Amino acid sequence: MSKDYVLDLNRIKSITQPLTTLENGLGSLSSLIEQIEQSRKGISENHSFNVDKQQIIQLLTLLQEFHNEITQITNKNIANFLAFQDNLLKKYREQYKDHLLRLKIDQEKSKNLGLYLIAQKKISKVDHQISYVNSIILDDWFNLLDSLNQNSIFLSLIHKIRDYYGEVTHNRLKMELEKIPEEFDIVIKNEFKNAFKEDPDLSFEQFFNEYEKLLTAADLSTRRKLLQRVKEKEELEKLKLKQAEQKQGYKDYLKLSAREFERRRRKKSREKLSEIDIPLNTSKELEISEEVSEKIELFKSQLEKKFQDDYLIEVEEQDPLDLIRERKKLKEEEFKKFKKHFDQEEINDN
């Protein structure tokens, strides 16, 4: 079964290329025969030749006969090639038409299927045409610039584009500023804003890398000191805030009732300290100076005093459980006293 090919002009051209070569060769041969015929006439009319004219005339006659035979064969081959070319073009044209017809039928089926799916809301409608207009080239803009400057619609559109571009660059600058750590100097931020206005594609990381290259060692030292002071100031503010929270917690603690205060104090006194895990690989003692040893002993004494104040009951303080037992004992004695009194009154009444 022969294989069908789509119409390919290059393929047809490669097949019919020998026909062109044959036609060119036939033309060259015809020109050569004409030159020989003219030479034969010149020899016949010229009587100065010493050679045998009869032999030359016979040779030229043979050449003429050979030319006629070659011309006949070439014309026949050209006719065969032309017929072959026409049949080949007809065949490929018919096959290409059949291909286009099948493609059209497939497109109709696809279109019907797509309309059905769109009607059933399975898919969305697809645009088959471009919905925008291509912009004109730069040279045409220069030619139209004078007239466009007088066009109110064009000027209003340019104004909207400028506003939109400004909004986009402002949002991008805002995003880049949010990436900058808070401890950075405000001067660097302002310089970055100025550089960003000149180049909206500039990021803060790129700007800061170039900025550090331009600064001298003294400038870098000054910048670092300034950043350190800013950091210390922030830490001081955090410490003040923490102290304010602790002070507020202390005030809230003082507002507790005596009962709630005693309850919390007893709960705190019953808490036990968790044991401190001692590492096993502590056989080698650390070498420390005398000054460090004194500081360690001072810290241990302060820690011990704080522990006693927070967790141990003073000598003059009484245990809450003892107070409860004593009060219970007094209540029982008071109850027995009143019971005995009422029992005595019942006996007297009887």
- Rounded to an integer, the average pLDDT of 316-342 is 74
Secondary structure in 3-state letters for the chain: CCCCCCCCHHHHHHHHHHHHHHHHHHHHHHHHHHHHHHHHHHHHHCCCCCCCHHHHHHHHHHHHHHHHHHHHHHHHHHHHHHHHHHHHHHHHHHHHHHHHHHHHHHHHHHHHHHHHHHHCCCCCCCCCCCCCCCCCCHHHHHHHHHHHCCCHHHHHHHHHHHHHHHHHHHHHHHHHHHHCCCCCCHHHHHHHHHHHHHCCCCCHHHHHHHHHHHCCHHHHHHHHHHHHHHHHHHHHHHHHHHHHHHHHHHHHHHCCCHHHHHHHHHHHHHCCCCCCCCCCCCCCCCCCCHHHHHHHHHHHHHHHHHHHHHHCCCCCCCCHHHHHHHHHHHHHHHHHHHHHHHHHHHHHHC
Q: 65-107: per-residue pLDDT in tens?
A: 877 888 888 788 888 888 887 888 888 888 888 888 888 877 7
- Structure confidence at residue 274 (pLDDT): 46
- Rounded to an integer, the average pLDDT of 299-303 is 73
More confident residue, 101 or 37: 101
- Rounded to an integer, the average pLDDT of 51-68 is 73
- Rounded to an integer, the average pLDDT of 29-50 is 65
- Structure confidence at residue 188 (pLDDT): 78
Prediction pTM value: 0.27
- Rounded to an integer, the average pLDDT of 244-259 is 73
